[in-house]
């Protein structure tokens, strides 16, 4: 089963992706992971991507598409995959269609987690992360037992610089602008599955599972 996972920052994609991977035994592929793998393996495309990453520049589309294609052709993707963070644009979606065609395969489902903007703001600005072990908390939804101290390792918790209200708002605006056309693209192909991401985590998981098994 080949799945594309979509949803704005703070929609809970990470948590739900983990559930899908465990239930359907397919790899979770983000562009970041694909880049890191290609760079660590020092593939020709990985080395090209590294030049841009090292300069803090966006990796061009042709390199990104090439790295995603290489990743999807690996053995662990034979029974399907969960793509997260790709495609981001119509041109990338069209390139993915070509990749699938060349592999004699297709995208089966595009899952979109929809969440109200105000709730996303509350979720993202309340996030706190442990400096030592990277554990994630939330001041409202998942607070630590002691304020600003990690339950797991007693490390100090901090707020990421891009989790301020202004920066979160900018990220949400950018996502909305860039992603709306993609949702329409997949809706026309009858692949889009809308999931209410405002429900309890378990309810969201059950709805996604039901759609995928449908």
What are the residue numbers of the active site?
A: 13, 88, 127, 160, 171
Q: What is the Cα–Cα distance from 196 to 203, expressed in whole angstroms? A: 9
Structure-block tokens of residue 105: 């395969």
With tokens 């992603």, the residue in question is 179
């Amino acid at each position: 089963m080949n799945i594309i996972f979509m949803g704005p920052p703070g929609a809970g994609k990470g948590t739900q992706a983990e559930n899908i991977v465990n239930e359907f035994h397919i790899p979770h592929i983000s562009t970041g992971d694909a880049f890191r793998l290609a760079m660590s393996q020092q593939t020709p495309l990985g080395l090209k991507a590294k030049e841009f990453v090292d300069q803090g520049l966006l990796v061009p589309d042709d390199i990104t598409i090439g790295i995603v294609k290489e990743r999807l052709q690996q053995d662990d993707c034979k029974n399907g995959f969960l793509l997260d963070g790709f495609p981001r644009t119509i041109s990338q979606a069209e390139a993915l269609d070509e990749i699938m065609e060349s592999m004699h395969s297709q995208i089966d489902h595009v899952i979109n987690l929809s969440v109200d903007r105000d709730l996303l703001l509350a979720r993202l600005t309340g996030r706190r992360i442990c400096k030592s072990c990277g554990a994630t908390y939330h001041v409202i939804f998942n607070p630590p037992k002691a304020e600003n101290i990690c339950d797991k390792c007693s490390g100090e918790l901090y707020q990421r610089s891009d989790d301020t209200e202004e920066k979160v708002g900018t990220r949400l605006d950018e996502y909305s602008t860039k992603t709306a056309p993609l949702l329409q693209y997949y809706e026309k192909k009858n692949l889009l599955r809308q999931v209410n991401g405002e429900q309890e985590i378990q309810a969201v998981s059950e709805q996604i599972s039901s759609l995928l098994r449908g």
